[in-house]
A and B are shown apart, each in its own frame.
Chain A
Amino acid sequence: MRKPYFIQSDNSAVDCYGVESVRLADIESIAFNKVAYWLIDMRIWQDGWEQLCQIRRHLTPAIYLRPVLFIIDSDSIAQEIVTASDGNLHRSVCDERLLEDWVSRVEPINQWIEHLNNANSGTDTNIAFKTLRLIASRNIELEPVTTIRRNSGYVYPLLEPLFNKRDTGVLETLDFLESQHLLNGRFISRAHFCSHCASAFLNFKETCPQCASDDISSDELIHHFKCAYTAEISQFRKAGRLVCPKCERELKHIGVDYDKPSIIYNCNECSYRFQDPKITTLCYNCGRQAEPENQQVRTIQAFTISAIGKNAADYGLDTLFTNILDNELNLFSEKAFNDFLKIEKSRIERYKLSKSSLLIIRFNDLDKLYIKLGSKAREVFYELSIIFKNILRYSDVITAKNETIFCVVLTETDCEQAKTAITRLQEKIQELFKSNLDFTPTMTTLVKEVTPELELEQILEEFLNDAD
Chain B
Amino acid sequence: MLIEDVLEFLAGLSTTQLIAYFWPFFLLDMTRYLFLDFIIILIYIPKRIFEHARYKQARLNLYRERPLVSVIVPGKNEGKHIPRLAESLKEQYYKNYELIIVDDGSDDDTAVICRKLEQQGKIDLFIRNEIRGGKASAANTAFNFSKGKYIVHIDADSHLKMDTIETILLPFYMDDSIGAVGGDVRVANTEKSFATRLQAIEYFKSISTGRTISSELGILRIIAGAHGAFRRDILERLHGWDVGPGLDGDITLKIRKLGFRVVHEPMAVCYTNVPETFRRVAKQRFRWDRSMIRFRVRKHRDILLPSAGFSLTNFIASAENIFFNLVLDVKWWFYVVQMMFVNPALLGYIFIINYVLYLLANIVEFIMACALLHSSLRAKDYALVLFLPLIPVYTGIFLRIVRTYAYLMEFVHGASYYDKWNPWKVSRVAKEEKL
A residues contacting B by CB (< 8 A) are 221, 223, 225-232, 245-247, 255-257, 259-262, 264, 273-276
> A261-B131, A275-B126 given as contacts; is B145 within 8 A of A228 (CB)?
no
Within the assembled complex, what's the spacing in Å between the Cα atoms of A365 and B372? 91
Q: Tell me the dominant secondary structure on chain B's binding face.
A: mixed
> A227-B239, A228-B133, A245-B239 given as contacts; is B145 within 8 A of A264 (CB)?
yes
Q: Within the complex, what minimum Cβ distance (angstroms) separates B80 from chain A?
A: 21
Contacts of A228 in B (CB 8 A): 133-134, 136-137, 139-140, 240-243, 247, 426
**B143-173 vs A: 1/0 string, CB under 8 Å?**
0110000000000000000000000000000
Contact among A247, A255, A261 with B133 in the assembled complex (CB-CB below 8 Å): A261
Contact among B127, B134, B136, B243 with A275 in the assembled complex (CB-CB below 8 Å): B127
Q: Which 4 A-B pairs have the closest CB atoms?
A: A228-B136, A261-B129, A246-B239, A225-B429
Q: Within the complex, what minimum Cβ distance (angstroms) separates B130 from chain A?
A: 5
Q: State whether A259 touches B144 (Cβ < 8 A).
A: no
User: Does B356 make an interface contact (CB < 8 A)?
Assistant: no
Contacts of B132 in A (CB 8 A): 261
User: Does B125 make an interface contact (CB < 8 A)?
Assistant: yes
Contacts of B145 in A (CB 8 A): 264, 273
User: Does B36 make an interface contact (CB < 8 A)?
Assistant: no
Q: State whether B429 touches A230 (Cβ < 8 A).
A: no
Q: State whether B137 touches A261 (Cβ < 8 A).
A: yes
Q: Tell me the dominant secondary structure on chain A's binding face.
A: loop
Q: State whether A262 touches B240 (Cβ < 8 A).
A: no
Contacts of B139 in A (CB 8 A): 228
Contacts of B140 in A (CB 8 A): 228-231
Q: State whether A261 touches B240 (Cβ < 8 A).
A: no
> A228-B426, A229-B240, A259-B131 given as contacts; is B435 within 8 A of A221 (CB)?
no
Q: State whether A225 touches B425 (Cβ < 8 A).
A: yes
Q: State whether B429 touches A226 (Cβ < 8 A).
A: yes
Contacts of B105 in A (CB 8 A): 261
Q: State whether B425 touches A255 (Cβ < 8 A).
A: yes
Within the assembled complex, what's the spacing in Å between the Cα atoms of A245 and B125? 24
Contacts of B428 in A (CB 8 A): 225
> A257-B429, A261-B105 given as contacts; is B239 within 8 A of A229 (CB)?
yes
Nearest B residue to A245, CB-CB: B239
Contacts of A275 in B (CB 8 A): 126-128
Q: State whether B131 touches A226 (Cβ < 8 A).
A: no
- 26 A-B pairs in the complex with CB atoms less than 8 angstroms apart: A223-B129, A225-B425, A225-B426, A225-B430, A226-B243, A227-B239, A228-B136, A228-B139, A228-B242, A229-B140, A229-B239, A229-B240, A230-B144, A230-B240, A231-B141, A245-B239, A246-B240, A247-B239, A257-B429, A259-B131, A259-B425, A261-B132, A261-B141, A264-B127, A273-B145, A276-B115
Excluding A223-B137, A228-B243, A262-B128, 6 further A-B contacts by CB distance (< 8 Å) are: A225-B430, A228-B241, A231-B140, A261-B131, A262-B129, A264-B127
User: Does B433 make an interface contact (CB < 8 A)?
Assistant: yes
Contacts of A225 in B (CB 8 A): 133, 243, 425-426, 428-430
Residue of B130, B134, B138, B435 contacting most chain A CB atoms (<10 Å): B130
